[in-house]
Structure 1
Amino acid sequence: LLEHDSLYIAFTIYPGVTSFMDMMGGPLWAALFFAMLTLSALDAEFAWIEMIISSVLKKFDKANRHTEIRLVVGLCFFCFICGLPLTTRGGIFIFHSIENLNANWNSFSLSLLLVVIVCYIYGKFS
């Protein structure tokens, strides 16, 4: 069980186990588990966004309320656009590639830069 991927455990094993718990409220426990996963992810996202916003506003301390709202909306829109590929049919493969196949941040940023350059050159000369 410990050698499996966390996505495999969360979305395959746990629903399979709770499907056999008909007498003990299995569907209720499954719904509570997925609600807990959703709320935990949402809480982590709020903390991540707040960390970025507060650090940027602390760096540029002349920001007013209007600038803060624009920054929050812009960052949320950027994160939304970056998350859209994860909602496609191949999203699980993209997530797996981001999570497991990158040794560190440098190799990830270098491969992302390479993809952007190739797409730019291919789009410009075609």
Structure 2
Amino acid sequence: MKRKASAVWQGGLQDGKGTISTDSGVLKDTQYSFATRFEDGIGTNPEELIAAAHAGCFSMALSAELGKVGIKPERIGTTATLTLDKADGGFAITAVHLDVKVKIPGGDRAAFEKATADAKAGCPVSKVLKATITMDATLET
């Protein structure tokens, strides 16, 4: 399976602008710029898209892990907070924190904790990141 996205950038770093598109059409010429990345501009940025991908990937991975032990969650809500730090060689994504809330009526806490740990380690987006990944997981019954 292969997935594609594309970006077009025009101009210099601080005065330029770009667009991001995906083959699925979910993003089509979506605007991004220096202001959307490092200030409060309107549009998206690469780090926001990685955080969204991580939140979505983790939620699906957790559903799969819970399914392996016969648990079907009513709801999995994941927020991924990505940290972009300036380092010696430029910028680097140094950390991602996952805040997870899962609703499982009559949930088994031990199975939940194992599933969240396994999903964090096994999520394909987690695997591709060199960042430290932390997590707070709340079981709602």
TM-score, normalised with respect to structure 1: 0.33
Write 1 or 2 for the structure with the bigger share of helix.
Answer: 1
Q: Which structure has the greater CA radius of gyration?
A: 1
RCO higher in structure (CA 8 A, sep ≥6):
2
